[in-house]
Amino acid sequence: MTCSSCGELANYVPCDTRKIWEFPSGAGNKVTVYHYGVHSCIAVKPTISTSAAQAAFHQVNSAKPGRMVNNHIIDAIESEKSLEEIENLNDSLLDKKSLQRKKLAASQKLDPVGHSYDAVMHYKAKVEKVLNDPYLIYKFDCEKKIVFKTSKEQLEMALQMDKGQGHLKTEACHVHGKHNHLSGYITISLVVYDANWRELAKIATMECPSESKDNIGMFWTCLNSALRQLTHDNNCQFRPHLYMFDEGGGFWASLKEQLGPDELT
């Protein structure tokens, strides 16, 4: 069998262990599973239990599945668990459909929660300490009411979009503002289609009060600043193959102001 994305041949790992299912009479929806033998295959990491997921949904009266995932990772960071433990936890929370089914069983809705400036700065410092990534909460400006977020891996993808280099060099950058993600704010997101993953990959996001030219200009400024910090190149600038915006004038006006009119041709 060949992977349709990377073209590599899959390695078959034989396993002589047998899994035996038994549904005891009168036991309702319970099942007993026996493993006969010693597994030689690679174990699949278990997902979060249904009871734990439902308890989390009920505890936060209105949490969405994505919010519950964030809360679990935040708790792990607050507890200063090791990077390996956090990565294992992240792997156990990747199955979106499973979490949606558990959310449906809990039957709750989203309840946005705000944060103070001190709380965000405290959390930013803890994130940098535990995850060793200064870009996850890269820019927080209380006066301008903006929060810019990305990561090392996402910035490396942005560099792959540069004209003439990288596997994303011919992909367009899609930038749009989402109005219902956070109450009272617009979430500006930059995403790119990754053919290897066969889905849109996020590069950066920024919460701000509006899609004005100044706010979107701040988005480009933060992105380029992060790229320069990562590459140690003061001339580094995000220049993808193609831009795709909606009809909001702030996007095009900010791009022209940041990179010049030639970038629009």
Banded pLDDT at 110 (limits 50, 70, 90) = very low
Shared-domain flag, residues 154 and 252: yes
Alpha carbons 166 and 192: distance in angstroms, whole number: 13
Shared-domain flag, residues 98 and 125: no
Q: E-strand spans in 29-89?
A: 32-36
Looking up tokens 């995000």 gives: 238
Q: Is residue 39 part of a domain?
A: no
Q: Is residue 17 part of a domain?
A: no
Domain of 75, in residue numbers: 50-106
Structural domains counted in the chain: 2
Which residue has better confidence, 5 or 198? 198
Q: Is the pLDDT of residue 19 over 60?
A: yes
Shared-domain flag, residues 96 and 185: no
- pLDDT value at position 109? 39
Shared-domain flag, residues 156 and 231: yes
Q: Is the pLDDT of residue 66 over 70?
A: no
Mean pLDDT in residue range 41-49: 66
Shared-domain flag, residues 125 and 102: no
Q: Is residue 189 part of a domain?
A: yes
Q: Is the pLDDT of residue 112 over 50?
A: no
Predicted structure pTM score: 0.59
Alpha carbons 173 and 240: distance in angstroms, whole number: 7
Alpha carbons 261 and 42: distance in angstroms, whole number: 54
Shared-domain flag, residues 70 and 128: no
Shared-domain flag, residues 65 and 132: no
Shared-domain flag, residues 181 and 201: yes
